[in-house]
């Protein structure tokens, strides 16, 4: 059995070999400690350092680089799946009721606003509010992870969203798609389509907020020392 001090030295070994991600360091430390113990059982004459060198040599010339790439791909794939799961949860019971109510309210407002330029101004105001909401929410997200002291691949996924509010600018002023160029030319059909897209952007922001909160809870549970 390796000692606690030897186990802790594996973290320094990982950092020495350019492994800065704490969550990967934990996995590597566990893997290295088990492999070292096996080496020392097979050959009791080996010292801890010699066994460590032999185990590390087994990673090849790239060292831990392949592990980082594999871990990033795995975490990204899992996170992307979870984000879309949370996104589509707003189209299932019971959240779908809220989604339908919001869209119905947008359409009702569009009917009430008989002047076409009023519809354009309203959508522009909604888009601006979404943009501000995303900025405020992003600042709160960074504050939530302010206590994190060690870099992790797991929590880096908080930085990638689903659909960002800046897409609204491209949609709103897209001449090809809607065939209009100014706010005073907003028929009801393009209004309804843009309203739907704004709703999807808002839902994606809510889903990403849910994802970040869930990610924060899981990170603290799995890697409490990263927040110490």
Question: What are the tens digits of pLDDT across the range 14-64?
Answer: 999 889 999 999 999 999 999 999 999 999 888 999 999 999 998 888 888
Mean pLDDT of the region 115-125? 82
d(CA 18, CA 15): 5
pTM attached to this predicted model: 0.84
The tokens describing 86, both together, are: 């949370």
In whole angstroms, give the CA distance from residue 14 to residue 190: 56
Measured CA to CA, the distance from residue 180 to residue 112 in angstroms comes to 21
């Amino acid at each position: 059995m390796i000692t606690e001090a030897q186990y802790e030295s594996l973290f320094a070994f990982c950092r020495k070999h350019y492994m800065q991600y704490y969550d990967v360091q934990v996995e590597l430390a566990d893997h290295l400690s088990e492999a070292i113990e096996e080496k020392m059982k097979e050959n009791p004459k080996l010292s801890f350092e010699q066994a460590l060198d032999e185990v590390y040599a087994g990673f090849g010339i790239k060292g831990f680089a392949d592990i980082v790439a594999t871990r990033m791909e795995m975490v990204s794939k899992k996170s992307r799946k979870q984000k879309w799961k949370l996104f589509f949860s707003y189209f299932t019971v019971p959240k779908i009721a809220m989604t339908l109510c919001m869209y119905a309210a947008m359409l009702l407002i569009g009917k009430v606003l008989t002047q076409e330029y009023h519809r354009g101004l309203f959508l522009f105001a909604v888009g601006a509010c979404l943009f501000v909401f995303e900025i405020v929410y992003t600042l709160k997200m960074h504050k939530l992870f302010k206590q994190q002291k060690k870099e992790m691949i797991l929590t880096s996924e908080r930085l990638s969203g689903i659909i960002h509010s800046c897409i609204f600018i491209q949609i709103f002023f897209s001449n090809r798609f809607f065939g209009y160029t100014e706010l005073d030319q907003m028929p009801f059909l393009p209004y309804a389509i843009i309203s739907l897209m704004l709703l999807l952007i808002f839902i994606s922001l809510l889903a990403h907020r849910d994802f970040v909160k869930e990610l924060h809870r899981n990170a603290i549970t799995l890697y409490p020392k990263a927040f110490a």
